[in-house]
Amino acid sequence: MRSAAHVLLLLMALLWRAPALAGEPPCGPYTLAFYEHGVLYFRDAKGQAAGVDLDIVNELAGRTGCVFKTILESRVRIWDQLSRHQLDISVSGIPNAERESYAEFMLYMQSHNHVVIRKGLRQSLNSMAEFLADPKRQVVVVKSFKHGRSLDAWLDQLRSQQRVLEAPDLEAAWRILKAGRADAMLALPTTWSLLMRREAVSQQFDFLDWAPQDQILAGLIVSRQRVSEADRQRLRQALLTMRKDGTLDAIFKKHVGPELAQGMRLDTSPDPLR
């Protein structure tokens, strides 16, 4: 009896983890693009892929039965391919009106950018206004990233003075900052938490919170043209369940620790999974 019950429970679990096996129409395969960015997606000490986004995608695959063909791309190419309807899904995307015209955003976390600034500059550059007032200071950002209302407005002012360097990815931005070609860069906690693991950056840089009000929502980016509404609903419901049952919290804690994870948790009202 115990063996039969065990087999029954196993079969029930398999049916829940892979709805396609329960007679539902197949979901995918869909091409899903990751991009390397802090603890969202990175290579660990053994060279293995790891990160918040990877764990979320693996959990979604198990819960929905959707088949994902994963690739690694630059963020610039991801947005270009999505806008031209040449990519199905990507991760950790920040919505705006233009992007929502071609993709649905299924949000799963929030955060806000900090300013990483070289030691010794904090006393004279302790706010956006002080940085803006010093014409010789430059900031580096990753091209196409959104940083929040206040910081993006500040960057627009700096761009008008040709004081913003744009790097193709996070690693390139970090190299520019370390080389002294920029005085500051913008980074999320999911970014600088990985940098602190790799290098003794706290001895070289300060992490300043100039815009705590600039909460940024991010999540799965799903092509409206290439992914059916039925499959989008599967993904939407699975993410909602993961948020409610604590799975997302556990993934955040695994990669950034409990203190930062608390700040990544989405507000439950209004429901951001639309």
Backbone angles phi, psi at 180, to 5 degrees: 85, 10
Sign for the CA dihedral angle at 267, 221, 67, 170 comes to negative
Higher per-residue confidence, 159 vs 168: 159
Indicate whether 136 pLDDT > 70: yes
Domains in the chain with CATH codes = 26-111+216-264 (3.40.190.10), 114-208 (3.40.190.10)
Q: What is the pLDDT of residue 39?
A: 92
**% the chain with pLDDT above 90:** 62
d(CA 222, CA 210): 32
Q: What pLDDT sits at residue 23? A: 62
The model's pTM is 0.75
